[in-house]
């Protein structure tokens, strides 16, 4: 049950934002076996003055189209699954909405299963 929080500069179209949601969800479904209807995502948009990044950190040439994607998920996936997820997200977001792979920044936050309450005040995975 990943929780996805996306940050980006403001000014993109609804279709652009929906393509980001769709691409990330499809990558999670394909590489992390996330089931249908397990979609919990937000996008937060920022003015240029409130969005800062290292334009060339690690020799990666980023642009103002940079998208930060933070995924909180159970700590049950292998390193190979994680690498596959990162590649798949970059590929799908390259196809639609047309992001360059240099502008896809992913941070995976792993948590224990008991750290989720999906509603009703219960720890469904504990």
Cα(63)–Cα(47) distance, integer angstroms: 14
DSSP letter at 34 equals P
pLDDT of residue 117: 83
Residues 6 or more apart in contact with residue 65 via CB below 8 angstroms: 8, 9, 99, 100, 103
- Each residue's pLDDT tens digit, 30-48: 999 999 889 999 999 999 9
- Each residue's pLDDT tens digit, 7-37: 999 999 999 999 999 999 999 999 999 998 8
Which among 80, 78, 71, 76 has a CA at the least distance from the CA of 28? 71
Sheet holding 3-9, edge to edge: 41-46, 3-9, 67-74, 104-111
Confidence of residue 118 (pLDDT cuts 50, 70, 90): confident
Q: What is the set of active-site residues?
A: 2
Claim: this prediction has a pTM higher than 0.75: yes
- List of domains in the chain: 3-115 (3.30.429.10)
Q: Which residues pair with 41 in a beta bridge?
A: 4
Average pLDDT score, the chain: 96
């Amino acid at each position: 049950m990943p929780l996805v929080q996306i940050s980006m500069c403001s000014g993109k179209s609804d279709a652009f934002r929906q393509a980001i949601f769709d691409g990330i969800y499809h990558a999670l479904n394909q590489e992390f076996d996330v089931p249908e209807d397990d979609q919990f995502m937000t996008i937060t948009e920022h003015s240029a003055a409130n969005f800062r990044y290292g334009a060339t950190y690690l020799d990666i040439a980023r642009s103002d189209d940079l998208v930060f994607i933070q995924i909180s998920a159970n700590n049950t996936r292998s390193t190979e699954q994680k690498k596959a997820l990162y590649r798949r997200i970059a590929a799908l977001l390259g196809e639609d909405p047309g992001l360059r792979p240099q502008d896809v920044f992913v941070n995976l936050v792993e948590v224990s299963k008991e750290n989720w309450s999906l509603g009703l005040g219960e720890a469904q995975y504990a």
